[in-house]
Structure 1
Amino acid sequence: MTIIDAPSDTTWTMYFDGASNTRGRGIGIVLVSPRDEKIPISINLEFECTNNMAEYKARIVGLEATLSLEVQDLDVYGDSLLIICQMNGKCLTKEDRLISYHTYLTSQMKSFHNINFTYISRLRNRFADALATLASMVDIPIGVKVCPLVIKRHLILAHVYMVQIAAGCPDGKP
């Protein structure tokens, strides 16, 4: 996935989240370039896992994506206090199912010049959370390609917009 050329002396930002619920499992990642370009990633996980496993998987996919962009400096934000503490070495990874994820992440971290992990509230991680929840709930058949997600902002009400368009009509009537 080469979307943006990343100069090695700039810091990127990554937000991540994982979701495991009764409908399914998914991960959401938002990569933010130094020029404030956002790259959303949403992946449905087709295997049974806990919420913590989904959180780890989100971080792994996010780090792999940034490495493919040749990012050297990365600030990582997530709303999983346990995983942030484990990655910062403040908590031990005791659960057998998480040890392999933690080991792999630790090896990935060596590829970065500078990498920081910071806990943020769920409120500040809403975009990654929404992507993870969406991925966990949407059934996309294998082999079906989904076009990139485009999110636009409308700053005026629809009827006001239509009146403005109509004002450009020759007769001045909507």
Structure 2
Amino acid sequence: MDQGLATTIAAGIAALVSVVTLVVTAVMDRQASAKAAHREIVAPYLVELSEDIYTILASIDVMEKRSTLGQSVVEWQEKAKTAGQRVDGTRRRIRYFLPGVDDALRELRTAADHMATVVNIEGTYSGKLLAKYSGLAASVNAAIRVSYRTGAPPSWLRRRILVWKAKRISDFWVERPKKKSA
């Protein structure tokens, strides 16, 4: 092999490496900008949403505890209801950017009314419902956190988990005892 051919082959390899590097860099830049755009869209809603979810959970927890003491739960139901209305408003704005979270937020929105209904049922029903809402809220927080960190909508598995947990609460609610035990 003469020196001219070796130089030509080396130049060809260098050009090929440059083209591959250019393509890889362009793809990576596009992915990075898509992730940044997703974060930018979701970020304005995160603080309000997390505060409202926490308010709902804290309020229904207090409702459950106050009911066991025979105290009024009306004030805490109103706090949870107000936070639920805010969650619903936020849900409508982010449902296309965080698919799968929609059903879970819709279920959390109803927590105040559900808890107000079941706190008068004797037994551990209200505690079980509270535990289910807490589990749903933890899954929502995890899905949103991972979505923000990765810069992509929640994965198929996370969406299925959220839908499943929301459905479990809905089914649990339908099967509740209808009257206070005698």
More helix by share: 2
- Mark yes or no: TM-score above 0.5: no
Normalised by the length of structure 1, the TM-score is 0.24
Q: Which has the larger radius of gyration?
A: 2
Normalised by the length of structure 2, the TM-score is 0.23
More strand by share: 1
